[in-house]
């Protein structure tokens, strides 16, 4: 259906669209880490030539969302526990500051938008729509970066959020729903109250919580590991 959908769009489908599509799929954990992304498969999935796919994969690789192995193809990235540490360290540096900025710059309309987003998160969570809940949970952090009003930062955050999805897919407990929407709700409360320090601290606690919920001693699920495991 993806193929039909994409083919229906027809006309012009740029590599940016493909990148966006794959980003979404990774965030929703429909593409687990280590999944092979063969060129021919993607070609008739999106109904475009090999060149576009190749460029899209290169862009995704430059964003650390896929890994390119020479003569072997493209695979959805499998972050190591070290990389997971890195990502959370970076997010802990950035996102409290982003929350501060959001407090400063959020218009009433944007606050309403955030509240609405949280409502949808809440609904998806209670309706058991796990996939939507995961996606919305990630998108909340992206929305916050958008409210902060810095496109450069947004781009960085989009990468971090997506990589976090991969990390949770590898190291997270199965019942874990990424972020609890309650944490998000409290952050928006602080934004509404124009409490920059409070929002920053809540964001820090929130990220710390997510990180400690992970089991960073687990190992990767990529093909190369099977080799090293089964070699014994």
Partner DNA sequence: CCCTTCCAGATTGTTAACAAAAATGTTGAC
Partner DNA sequence: GTCAACATTTTTGTTAACAATCTGGAAGGG
Residues 70-99 that bind its own copies (CB under 8 A): 83, 86-87, 89-90, 93-94, 97-98
Give the 3-state secondary structure of residue 76: strand
* 38-77: contacts with DNA (CB under 7 A): 38-40, 49-52, 54, 68, 70-74
Strand partners, 76: 66
User: Least distance (Å) from its own copies to the CB of residue 182?
Assistant: 26
Number of residues that bind DNA (CB under 7 A): 15
Torsions phi, psi of 76, nearest 5? -60, 135
Q: Which two tokens stand for residue 170?
A: 């590898």
CA distance 159 to 179: 17
Select 16 or 215, whichever has its Cβ closest to its own copies: 16
Pick one of 3, 20, 126, 151: the residue that binds its own copies (CB under 8 A).
151
Examine residue 176 and tell whether it contacts its own copies (CB under 8 A). no
Written as one string, the DSSP assignment of 119-167 is HHHHHHHHTT-HHHHHHHHHHHHHHHHHHHT-HHHHHHHHHHHHHHHHH
State the minimum distance, in angstroms, from the CB of residue 87 to its own copies: 6
**Min separation Cβ 203 and its own copies, Å:** 13
């Amino acid at each position: 259906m993806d193929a039909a959908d994409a083919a229906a769009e027809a006309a012009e489908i740029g590599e940016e669209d493909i990148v966006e599509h794959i980003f979404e799929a990774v965030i929703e954990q429909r593409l687990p880490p280590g999944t092979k992304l063969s060129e021919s498969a993607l070609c008739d999935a999106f109904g475009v030539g090999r060149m576009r796919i190749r460029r899209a994969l290169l862009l995704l690789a430059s964003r650390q969302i896929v890994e390119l192995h020479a003569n072997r193809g493209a695979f959805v990235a499998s972050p190591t526990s070290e990389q997971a540490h890195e990502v959370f360290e970076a997010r802990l540096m950035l996102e409290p500051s982003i929350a501060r900025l959001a407090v400063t710059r959020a218009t009433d309309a944007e606050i309403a938008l955030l509240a609405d987003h949280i409502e949808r998160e809440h609904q998806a969570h209670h309706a058991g729509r796990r996939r939507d809940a995961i996606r919305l949970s990630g998108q909340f952090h992206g929305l916050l970066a958008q409210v902060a009003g810095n496109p450069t930062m947004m781009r960085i955050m989009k990468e971090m959020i997506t990589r976090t999805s991969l990390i949770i897919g590898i190291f997270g407990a199965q019942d874990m729903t990424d972020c609890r929407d309650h944490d998000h709700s409290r952050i928006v409360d602080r934004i509404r109250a124009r409490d920059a320090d409070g929002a920053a601290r809540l964001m820090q606690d929130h990220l710390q919580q997510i990180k400690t919920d992970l089991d960073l001693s687990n190992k990767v699920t990529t093909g190369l590991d099977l080799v090293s495991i089964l070699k014994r």
